[in-house]
Structure formats: C-alpha cells, structure tokens
C-alpha cells in the first residue's frame, strides 16, 4: 500500500512538472494567451506611428512637390476588405504614405490589433493612425499607446503639416480633446502651405462634446486649416460648417470597399474616391 501511494505521488508530480514546463514553453514562444485583455507586444509591434513617420521623413519630400497620400478609416473587423485595399494601394505608383482615421479595431483587444496590423503592415507605404472610439474600449487605450504611440501628435512632410488629435470625448470621460495643445500646434500655420487636422470623431457628432465642437470650429477657421478629416460615421461625406470656412471630410469604412487618394501641392488640395469593389 505504501509503495502504491508513493508511485501515485511520483506520477502526479511528474505530470504537474510536465504541464508546468509545457505552459512555460508556450509562454516563451508567445503562443499561450492567458486573457484576451492582456498586453504582450513584440518589439516590431511597438511605436508604429513614429517608426512610420521616420520613414516619411526619410523620403525628403520637397517643399514644392505634390504630395500623394491615401486615407482609410474604420477597418474594425473588415479584414478581407482591408486586405483588398492594401493590395490595391500597393499596386498604385506614387503613394507616399497612408493615414488611418481610427477604429482600427472593434473591441480594443490585442488579438484584433495584431490581426489588423498583420494586414496593414503589408502596405508598401508608411501608415500613420489616430485612435478611434472602438480602439479605446476594453484596455485598448493602453494597447494603442504601446503599439502606435501618443494620442496627440503631428509631423511635417514637404509643405504640409499633419496634426492628429484624440476626439473620443465619451470614452476618455471628457478628458479627450486637448484643444489648447491643438491651438499650440496650429500657431505656426503661416510656416506651411497646407495644414490638415485628423481625428476619428467629427465635430458634428454629439460624442465630440458640444463645447469642444464650438471651439474646434473656431480654431479651424481662425488658422485656415486646409481640411479637417475624420472617420466614425461609416460613410463618405465632404462639407463646410460655415460659408468660406474650413472644409471637412468624413472617410468611409473599409466595408465600403474604397479609399481616398489625396493630391496636395502649394496651392490646391484635390482628392478622388478609389473603389476596390470586385477585387480580391
């Protein structure tokens, strides 16, 4: 009887030891997921915005050049449509960078960030993103910051300045929309031929915050912003909120099977809607 118990304990310890070793091996290989809410990024998944901004700066775009860039938005779960858009963009000549107007993911989970990054990471051109409201749920706020970087930032390419601002007022409990920071970024407006402000939620949405929307519109007009560009509404639209004021654009979702191609020079801003329907 004593020997039977001893053998049982031995095999029990052996089984537990083997299971523990297997779990540690899976963890080391980054194949074991403890929780969908975990944050465990690889080195090549960190600070993606700054890495891609550096790639844009390395192009040394001349101040008198025409800049060609693409706009996409709301890829949240539309993996096949995103793949098709990426393929189409890679087959176009002259696209210098791609800008994503938020809602990269649907539920702000690591698996989603990783799945969409695997697809968007195949773009030949550098990709720069802004945080969307769906990216800010669960623990997406921290994930976005670690994977892509700060919520508010800017960069300059040739004659144009691009300003990205977090407008997810509800998800950040009213703490989003640092309009003092935005005005500081706009204060050197005269140094650039064109200035673009990009965010996810447009000022026409209640989720922007009424007081924020009023001041935002004032800043756009005061500093003669070339275009204020957004996502969120899941449909394409261009409009002006005041006669002679700043022009606004809402970029459609990836499920619309299209993207926007912008061409910008010292004097003009033009765009076209490029359909990917029927492509695979």
The reported pLDDT for the residue numbered 40 is: 80
Output 19 or 273, whichever has higher pLDDT: 273
What are the distances in angstroms from CA 30 to CA 22, 36, 84, 162?
12, 13, 28, 36
Residues of the domain holding 2: 1-32
Q: Is the pLDDT of residue 84 over 70?
A: yes
Are residues 73 and 176 located together in one domain of the fold? yes
pTM confidence score: 0.87
Residue whose tokens read 């509404």: 233
Contact 66, 263 (CB under 8 A): yes
d(CA 234, CA 254): 8
The number of folded domains in the chain is 2
Are residues 1 and 55 located together in one domain of the fold? no
Flag whether 257 is in a domain: yes
Flag whether 144 is in a domain: yes
d(CA 161, CA 224): 13
pLDDT digits (tens, 9 = 90+) for 50-65: 999 999 999 999 999 9
Q: Which two tokens stand for residue 25?
A: 């091996």
Are residues 135 and 263 located together in one domain of the fold? yes
The reported pLDDT for the residue numbered 279 is: 81
d(CA 130, CA 176): 13
CATH of the domain at 58: 3.60.21.10
Alpha-helical (H) ranges within the chain are 2-28, 48-57, 79-90, 110-120, 140-147, 179-186, 210-222
d(CA 89, CA 69): 10
Are residues 21 and 45 located together in one domain of the fold? no
Q: Mean per-residue pLDDT for 147-169?
A: 98
Q: Mean per-residue pLDDT for 116-140?
A: 97
The reported pLDDT for the residue numbered 43 is: 85
Flag whether 267 is in a domain: yes
Are residues 25 and 46 located together in one domain of the fold? no
Cβ contacts of 76 within 8 Å, gap of 6 or more: 103, 104, 105, 106, 112, 132, 134, 253, 254
Are residues 24 and 107 located together in one domain of the fold? no
Residue 189 per-residue DSSP state: G
Are residues 105 and 239 located together in one domain of the fold? yes
Flag whether 280 is in a domain: no
Are residues 214 and 175 located together in one domain of the fold? yes
Angle between helices 179-186 and 210-222 (to 10 degrees): 0
pLDDT digits (tens, 9 = 90+) for 209-233: 999 999 999 999 999 999 999 999 9
Are residues 73 and 13 located together in one domain of the fold? no
Are residues 18 and 144 located together in one domain of the fold? no
Flag whether 231 is in a domain: yes
Flag whether 86 is in a domain: yes
The reported pLDDT for the residue numbered 278 is: 82
d(CA 204, CA 218): 14
d(CA 46, CA 42): 7
Q: How confident is the model at residue 25 (pLDDT cuts 50, 70, 90)?
A: very low
Are residues 53 and 176 located together in one domain of the fold? yes
Decide: helix, strand or coil at residue 142.
Answer: helix
Flag whether 68 is in a domain: yes
Q: In what order do the strands lie in the sheet with 237-240?
A: 153-157, 160-164, 194-198, 227-230, 247-250, 237-240
Are residues 75 and 158 located together in one domain of the fold? yes
What are the distances in angstroms from CA 262 to CA 105, 210, 274?
24, 30, 10
Give the residue from 116, 151, 155 showing the smallest Cα distance to 132: 151
Strand partners, 70: 98, 261
d(CA 231, CA 236): 8
Flag whether 94 is in a domain: yes
């Amino acid at each position: 009887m004593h020997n039977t118990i001893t053998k049982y304990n031995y095999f029990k310890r052996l089984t537990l030891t083997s299971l523990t070793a297997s779990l540690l091996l899976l963890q080391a290989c980054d194949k074991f997921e403890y929780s969908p809410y975990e944050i465990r990024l690889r080195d090549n998944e960190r600070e993606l915005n700054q890495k891609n901004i550096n790639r844009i700066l390395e192009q040394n775009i001349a101040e008198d050049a025409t800049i060609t860039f693409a706009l996409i938005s709301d890829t949240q779960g539309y993996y096949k449509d995103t793949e098709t858009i990426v393929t189409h963009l890679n087959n176009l000549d002259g696209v210098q960078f791609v800008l994503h107007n938020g809602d990269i993911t649907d539920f702000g989970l690591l698996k989603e960030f990783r799945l969409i990054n695997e697809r968007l990471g195949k773009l030949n051109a550098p990709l720069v993103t802004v945080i969307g409201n769906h990216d800010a749920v669960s623990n997406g706020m921290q994930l976005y910051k670690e994977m892509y970087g700060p919520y508010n930032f800017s960069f300059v390419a040739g004659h144009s300045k691009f300003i990205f601002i977090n407008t997810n007022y509800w998800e950040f409990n009213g703490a989003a929309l640092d309009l003092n920071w935005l005005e500081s970024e706009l204060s050197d407006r005269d140094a650039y031929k064109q200035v673009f402000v990009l965010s996810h939620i447009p000022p026409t949405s209640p989720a922007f915050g009424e007081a924020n929307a009023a001041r935002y519109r004032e800043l756009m007009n005061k500093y003669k912003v070339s275009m204020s560009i957004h996502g969120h509404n899941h449909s394409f639209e261009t409009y002006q909120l005041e006669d002679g004021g700043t022009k606004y654009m809402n970029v459609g979702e990836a499920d619309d099977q299209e993207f926007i191609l912008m061409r910008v020079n010292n004097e003009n801003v033009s765009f076209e809607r490029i359909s990917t329907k029927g492509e695979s």
